[in-house]
Structure 1
Amino acid sequence: MPRFAANLSMLFTEVDFMDRFAAAADAGFSGVEYLFPYDFAAEEIKARLDANKLEQVLFNLPAGDWGKGERGIACHPDRAEEFRAGVDQAIAYAKVLGNSQINCLSGIRPQGYDCANIEQTLVDNLKYAAGKLEKAGIKLVMEMINTRDIPGFYLNNTKQALAIRDKVGSSNLYLQYDIYHMQIMEGDLARTVENNLAVINHVQLADNPGRHEPGSGEINYRFLFEHLDRIGYQGWIGCEYKPATTTAAGLGWLAPFHKSIHNAI
């Protein structure tokens, strides 16, 4: 069965960020992911990973000013230089932290540019990032996000992402498939993942509605976990959900998998 990673940007938020590594390990996680590492020294994060025997699974390329509502700059024609500098910064962190994949957020569609210019900017930036990361031994993934939670987010469904990937033309560009976002945007989750398994290198989860833990909403996660195992998915599943109450109280959904998931929780 797939391995589960704690998303430290969403889980264990009742403690300071650097203390979440120990909290994740205490809860049984063997891997962690989060939005960004850049507010901390890479060596400091690495020490927390090592102390808690955790694997760094994933983080994002720099995505602009998050606090001001930016959600990526990869599709912004006027931010190409900033994007490329962010690729170098992410590689430097990954070399210390040991993760072999990095996610790219395309961003919210910018105003004042035509569709062709925006798409070409994204294609060019992904091509650049995929090439640089490949030389460093790191895979690039790109994430589709629903336009309900982030209105105007440019990359928002699997069909669009596959078309972009074809235009980029790099074997080092993969999809990050977030079950929650894609339930909202397209549904047909099991079939879509199976049909595109070769290009999906990371999966994330949350239930819908509410973006809470599995079992709180409409998505049949027991079926999906068994399906992922059946079709041979070997990657991590990032637990990127908002606990309905506390993180600890919401971890009961994992109990049935304690004995059946290899090297997971």
Structure 2
Amino acid sequence: MATFAFTDADSYVLNCSTLLTELPVMERAQAAKDAGFGQVEFWWPFDGNPRPTSAEVDGFIASLESAGVELKGLNFWAGNMAGGDRGMVSIPGAEADFAANVEIVVEIGRRTGCRAFNALYGLRVDGADPEEQDRIAAANLELAANAVAAIGGTVLVEPVSGAEAYPLKRAADAAEVVDRVRARGVDNIAMLADFFHMSINGDDVAAVIEADAAKFGHIQIADAAGRGAPGTGELPLQDWINRSYELGYTGAIALEYKQDRETAFEWLAN
């Protein structure tokens, strides 16, 4: 079991879509606060609906304000995650819904102060031309980045494990997409370095950190194997975090692991 230099909960951003899942979404911000966290992030919190009502958006923001937590990260609409979708950025035919979703994301960012927005790329679609999917993705990412630029936001692109048809598996895959969009004149787009996904997919995480830490837009962690809390697996998470900061990373560390509510935060008390 790997060692980890534990600190207080408020040093981290708590992902309320992988943790506290025993509770309804609108109760998780308060539960995070009760557990000692003042910063949270969410996947898209509206059950796969790209166009929630104003009342639904108001309710989500009210849950954050009532709890007194800061929203530090939010995913764009990613389709039906429970049904296997992993983003809509590259999906043919989803452009109008994605564009409408971007407008809502910007509104949430403006009202909450959130400035980091994760755009899951989407799976390869049977019968679709991968090059056409990549063209769609570049256009959607450019649109999203230009929209969140108005509030000082950054679009994040993430390598993901566990979905064979997801084309961005390693850090280099995500970096290539970031570079492709930057070539279109966009500068507020960066890689989300999820150390768990990168490790599971075979990246040399330490080497990626050495090369690119200063360019990371966000870091998420979970231990491996198992995607549990820090210290439940074998990854040298503390070393990777420390080195990222030494090399110029200036962002937060988000906890995106999966564990039951009763034991999820025991590691912070050790």
Normalising by the residue count of structure 2, what TM-score does the alignment of the two structures yield? Answer: 0.85
Does residue 205 of structure 1 match 2:213?
no
Alpha-carbon distance in structure 1 between the residues aligned to 2:265 and 2:244: 20
Does residue 249 of structure 1 match 2:263?
yes
How far the C-alpha of 1:30 sits from its partner, in A, is 1.5
Conserved 8 A contact 2:61-2:108: no
2:33 paired residue number: 25
1:163 paired residue number: 176
1:224-263 matches, within 5 Å, as: 224-243=240-259, 246-255=260-269
Does residue 105 of structure 1 match 2:110?
no
Amino acid at match of 2:81: W
Amino acid at match of 1:69: G
2:61 is aligned, of 23, 30, 46, to 46
Alpha-carbon distance in structure 1 between the residues aligned to 2:233 and 2:207: 20
User: SS state of the match for residue 249, structure 1?
Assistant: coil
Alpha-carbon distance in structure 2 between the residues aligned to 1:65 and 1:223: 35
Q: Which runs of 5+ in 1 are unaligned?
A: 257-265
1:62 is aligned, of 57, 60, 77, to 77
C-alpha distance 134-252 of structure 1, shift in aligned 2 (>3 A): same
2:164 is aligned, of 127, 151, 164, to 151
Q: Which runs of 5+ in 2 are unaligned?
A: 1-6, 48-54
Q: Count matched residues.
A: 252
The higher-RCO structure (CA 8 Å, 6+ apart) is 1
TM-superposition CA deviations, 1:150-209 (whole Å, max 9, x none): 221122211122222222122111111111100011332133123212321111111111
Alpha-carbon distance in structure 2 between the residues aligned to 1:166 and 1:12: 35
Amino acid at match of 2:197: H
Conserved 8 A contact 1:43-1:96: no
TM-superposition CA deviations, 1:31-65 (whole Å, max 9, x none): 01111133672332333323332110111111123
2:16 paired residue number: 8
Percent identity, aligned pairs only, is 30
2:93 paired residue number: 78
How far the C-alpha of 1:248 sits from its partner, in A, is 4.0
C-alpha distance 145-77 of structure 1, shift in aligned 2 (>3 A): same
Alpha-carbon distance in structure 2 between the residues aligned to 1:194 and 1:22: 37
RMSD (Å) for aligned C-alpha atoms = 2.1
User: SS state of the match for residue 174, structure 1?
Assistant: strand
